Amino acid sequence: MNDLTASSFAPLSDQQHGEAIARPSLSYWQDAWNRLRANKRALVSLYIIIGLMLFTVFGPVVWPIDPAIQDIDQISQPPGTDRTAILVSDYEPWFGTPGLPGTGLRLAERATSQAVRLQWDALDGANGHRLYRNLFPIGPELSYGIPMAEFLNNDTLYFEDRLDLQPGRFYYVVVALDERGLTTDRYQFISVDIDRVTTLAEALERGLIDESDSVQIGDAIALALHPLGTDYLGRDLLARLMAGARVSLFIGIGAPFLFVLFGVVYGSAAGFMGGRVDQLMMRFADFVVALPFLLFMILFKIAFGIGPGESGVFPMLVALVVLLWPSTARLVRGQILQIREQGYIRASQLLGAGTPYLIMRHMIPNTLGVILVTVTFAIPSAIFTEAFLSFIGMGVAPPTPSWGSMSNEGIKTMLTTPHELFFPALFISVTVLAFNLLGDGLRDALDARMRNVE
């Protein structure tokens, strides 16, 4: 205390005083933006959404593959890079190899996507055999797979499979038949790994090589690249996801913007006019709300009809707008009534401001936050609706891809080639997740009640 001097007790100057009183104050939007930036989940979601937009818009530039082109060498291929096919000589018929070494069900030569040549010895007490092919080993239910051939005597003990062969592992089962041609419980099975091959003629035809290339039997020929694999028609999944993103995001973002816009116009009209008109308008909105949403989406889709060559994107957009506007209209009307009551408007009306000006000056800033949050939450539900409708076959018409229709196709081959379902489903889920989290973040950031807490 001894260091205290008389000057310590001199009055504080006005300027020092002023500095001490002033505090930085942030505008509403700056404040909200700071809040949003502090929310890691929302920020990451925002980046994901920006990434998705880039993927949709610039993806086709980087990966200019036609999503409709079929690559019949690679059907339902999982993701992978640099696949090759071995060049083989042209196909020649085969009728068993006499004196083939080994016993039981066995391969006569290397199994290729051209042909799988199987030979076996007659099973004990068999009066004939039936041959099955399967993608799975024999399960607990003794499911052998698809019957491929049946021989009602023991003369033919070989079989050549040329049906729809894909590189990968197949399981073949030969089952002994009794004298009446019924299956017995005696069987043998073999697992076969099939290599992808191609002939010179095929390779030329598909443009994998050209005349000038010097290639020999046994050479490996590179096939077209499909980073995310192909679908059941051999179409490039990445290209289709990009094309599908255009449809899904167009509907997902376009519809909410349109119905919110319509809702804002309708709601502010009702709010401003007030009285009878307001009552009537809002009663109508109540009825529209009561319509069961998905059923009427379906109904409207039918009512619009899809002509040949149309994708059905536009009818879906219209149906979404027709059914979803009332919630925004209610919200905006409520806000406007509230603002009117608070007397902002009356004060400015006294100063002679016109109605459009009033809307610009007072409504928009006061309501924009809520509307922004509404749009953000409406996007995932619109994307879901598109996916749902496409899934039950009422959405976007093939061949136009959308994430929903791709999932619908993928689900049929879910057990054998899960990637065809996985990627579109992943894109839907990540997009919906990102918009949901961003919506949460925005709501928290814009919620004025929370401004001084936390």
Partner 1 sequence: MTAGKENVDSGIPLLTVENLQVEFDTYGGTVQAVRGVSFSVDQRQTLAIVGESGCGKSVTVQSIMGLIPTPPGRITAGSARLRGHETLGRSTVGGKQIRGAEIGMIFQDPMTSLNPTMTIGDQIAEPLQVHRGYSASDAFTEAIRLIELCKIPEAAKRARQYPFEFSGGMLQRAMIAMVLSCKPSVLIADEPTTALDVTIQAQILDLMQELQKETGMAIILITHDLGVVARMADEVAVMYAGKVVEYGSADDVFYHSAHPYTVGLKEAMPMNDPARQHVLKPIDGSPPDLFAPPAGCGYCPRCPYAMQICSERQPQGHNLHGHHFASCWLHHAKSGRKPETIFFKDAR
Partner 2 sequence: MWLYILKRALQGIITVWFIATATFFAMHNVPGDPLTNDRAMTETTRANLESKYGLDQPITTQYLIFLRNLSRGDFGISFVQENREVNDIIREHFPVSAILGVLAVVFAAIGGVLFGALTALYRNRLPDYLIMFLVILGISVPSFVVAALGQLSLVSLNTLMGFTVLPVAGWGTVMHMLVPALVLGLSTMAYLTRLMRSSMLEVTSSDYVRTAKSKGVPPTRIFTRHQLRNAILPVVTVLGPAIAAITTGGFVVELVFAIPGLGRYFVEAVQQLDYTVIMGTTVFYGAFLVFMVILVDVVYGFIDPRVRLDL
Residues near partner 2 (CB under 8 A) are 139-140, 287, 290-296, 298-300, 302-305, 380, 384, 387-388, 391-394, 404, 407-408, 411, 414-415, 421, 425, 428-430, 432-433, 436-437
Could you tell which of partner 1, partner 2, none binds residue 20, using a CB distance below 5 to 8 A set by kind?
Answer: partner 1
State the amino acid at position 28 in one-letter form: Y
Edge-to-edge strands of the sheet including 84-88? Answer: 197-199, 84-88, 220-222
Nearest approach, Cβ of residue 416 and partner 2 (Å): 12
Residue 12 or residue 350: which is nearer to partner 1 going by CB? 12
CB of 5 or CB of 81, closer to partner 1? 5
Query: DSSP characters for 55-118?
Result: HHHHHHHHS---TT-B-TTSSSPPSBS--EEEEEPPP------TT-SS-SSEESS--BSS-EEE
Q: Which does 359 bind (CB under 5 to 8 A by kind): partner 2, partner 1, none?
A: none
Candidate ranges 19-27, 231-239, 329-337, 419-427; the one touching partner 1 (CB under 8 A): 19-27
In this complex, which beta carbon is closest to partner 1, that of residue 7 or of residue 81?
7
- Beta-bridge partner residues of 353: none
CB under 8 A: which stretch of 13-21, 205-213, 214-222, 386-394 binds partner 1? 13-21
Please answer whether residues 346 and 362 qualify as being in contact, where contact means their C-beta atoms are separated by less than 8 angstroms: no
Residues 100, 108: Cα–Cα separation, whole Å: 7
Task: Note whether 17 binds partner 1 by CB under 8 A.
Answer: yes
**Of 15 and 214, CB closest to partner 1:** 15
Residue 20 found at the interface with partner 1 (CB under 8 A): yes
Measured between alpha carbons, how far is 77 from 432 in angstroms, rounded to an integer?
27
Residue with tokens 């001084």: 452
Under 8 Å CB-to-CB from 78, ≥6 apart: which residues?
229, 417, 419
The site partner of 454 among partner 2, partner 1, none (C-beta below 5 to 8 Å per kind) is partner 1
Stretch that binds partner 1, among 15-23, 158-166, 231-239, 266-274 (CB under 8 A): 15-23
Strand-strand pairing, 168-177 and 129-134:
antiparallel
Q: Cβ of residue 139: shortest distance to partner 1, in angstroms?
A: 54
CB within 8 A of 438, min separation 6: which ones?
A: 42, 45, 46, 49, 376
